[in-house]
Structure 1
């Protein structure tokens, strides 16, 4: 891990880094010293590690919860090169969305393509961040909606260090098998009027999660209209399970 810049604002320090070819960002309280809980944050499709929603959540989790928070550009996103294979999968997704109807199949194909790389990359980022003396090997949580959920479900299913997760805004297509291996507490967010993910598909993904400690938070509104109070709820949820 190589830090490329460090800045501080309103009590939170932001460290930009690279880990091999993975660009990432780590947020910590300014006075961070010694081990602390860590949250991994997965961004949405077409976004990147410093998308406004990611930054806003990360800064709150660090400032108010004392967490370390890390985000990384998913494969073929942000500062990372976009390969020809990704272009073909993306073209299929856009064609499916233009045709109307259920987008679950094209979305599943995209997330499956990306998760083959993103799961081992997240594990490598987790290894590297936990070696830092101001983060350490404390409890780990995951937060990711939409594509962050599509890549997060297989990661949470595969990584035993994750103790709790906030997921949602996605359907069950392509994720049922991985969801059946998720046994940690989950807060699942669903938009009742989602214009990208049919309601019944989101409910099916919630149902497929194997954990007994899952809670569904459903709110009126379209895909990108998650109410601001859900950030407060997520912070309380992660604090309760990670300490």
Structure 2
């Protein structure tokens, strides 16, 4: 749920954010998720307002957010510096190497 809520926060705070790590989320969602939570236009608009550097994590076999929707959200990010980080596996799996990269990305830009 970090990106579902974090996207709006990063967009709203604008230049006050120096760097963000987002991901495992997209503009499409699986039918198992509540339809009321599916707001692709809102998330696309928020993504476009983000200007800080972003590392965006994509799970290639995500069972909650289809790959095409994750890539679509990444493409909408307004940041001039954005990096795509991809790992195999379903939504609930996070490779320890990914967590290391998240921290490195933040450390590099602070």
**Bin of the TM-score, shorter chain as denominator length:** 0.7 to 0.9
Q: Deviations over 1:181-201 (max 9, x none)?
A: 001000000000000101100
Distance in 2 (CA, whole Å) between partners of 1:204 and 1:228 is 25
Structure 2: runs of 5 or more not aligned: 28-39
Q: Deviations over 1:71-117 (max 9, x none)?
A: xxxxxxxxxxxxxxxxxxxxxxxxxxxxxxxxxxxxxxxxxxxxxxx
Say if 2:4 is the partner of 1:150. yes
Distance in 2 (CA, whole Å) between partners of 1:170 and 1:236 is 21
Q: CA RMSD in A?
A: 0.8
**SS of the residue aligned with 2:18?**
strand
Say if 2:29 is the partner of 1:161. no
* Greater fraction strand: 1
Q: Deviations over 1:32-51 (max 9, x none)?
A: xxxxxxxxxxxxxxxxxxxx
**SS of the residue aligned with 1:163?**
coil
* Greater fraction helix: 2
Structure 1: runs of 5 or more not aligned: 1-146
Deviation of the 1:150 alpha carbon? 1.0
Distance in 1 (CA, whole Å) between partners of 2:25 and 2:102 is 17
**SS of the residue aligned with 1:167?**
strand
**SS of the residue aligned with 1:196?**
coil
Q: Write the mapping of 1:123-138 to structure 2, written as runs, cut at 5 A.
A: none
Say if 2:109 is the partner of 1:241. yes
After TM superposition, the score normalised by the length of structure 2 is 0.84
Higher relative contact order (CA 8 A, sep 6+): 2
Deviation of the 1:161 alpha carbon? 1.4
Residue 211 of structure 1 corresponds to 79
